[in-house]
Amino acid sequence: GEGVEYHGMWYGGTQTHMCQQLAPDYVMRNFTILKEHGIELRGTYLDVFSIVAPEECEHPWHRMTREQSAQARLRCFDWVIANGILLSSEEAMDWAMPSLMYVHHAPFTVVNPGKDYVGGEPNGLRLPLFNLVYHDCLVTPWYLVKDGSFGLAAGEDGFLHCLLNAGAAYLPIEPNETDVARYKTV
C-alpha cells in the first residue's frame, strides 16, 4: 500500500513489517493454536522484536507512536512469559529488558563492519553494558571464533569475550576439534 516501507532483507521475497498494534493478537492466536494442537512450547524466539527499532504507524485504523510500538511488543513478551514459555528475541535493548531472558546476540558497535556485521574498527570503549547490568537475568551467547564473530572488531576473539562476560557459547553445526574444545572450556 501507499506509504508502506518494503524491503527484501530476508529470504522469501519482498517484505514489510507488521504494525505492532496488531502483533499481540497474532502472537496470542498463533500460540493458542499451537497449544490446541498439542504443541507445548517451553521456549520461543520472537525474531526481530528487539532489534528492529520501535516504529510509528500512520494507518488510519491503528495509528501508533514509537512508544506504543515498544509497549505492544512488551505485551507479546509478557503474554508469552505468563504462559510459562521462556522468551528470547534478537538483541538486548533497554526497553525490552523487563521481559527478555536470553538473546541471540548483544554485539558491540563497530565502524565500517564487513559482510554480516563481522570485523571493522571498535567504536568507542568495549564495555559489556548489558552483561554488567543484566548478567543475572539475561543469557547472552557468543560465537567462539576470532576475526569472524558477529559484532566484534577485526582481531577480537569471541571466545575471550565469552569467558570475560561469563556468557553462553554457540557451537557450529559442524564443529571442528578447536570449536569443541573451546565450547567445553566455556
> 126-173: per-residue pLDDT in tens?
777 777 787 778 888 888 887 767 778 888 888 998 898 888 999 889
SS3 125: coil
Cα separation, 166 vs 128, in Å, equals 11
> What confidence tier does 33 reach under pLDDT thresholds 50, 70, 90?
very high
Q: What are phi and psi of 69, to 5 degrees?
A: -60, -50
Arithmetic mean of pLDDT, 44-60: 88
Cα separation, 113 vs 97, in Å, equals 26
Nearest residue to 69 via CA among 19, 119, 29: 19
CB of 77 closer than 8 Å to CB of 46: yes
Cα separation, 16 vs 167, in Å, equals 33
| Chain-centre distance for alpha carbon 115 | 19
Confidence at residue 111, expressed as pLDDT on a 0 to 100 scale: 79
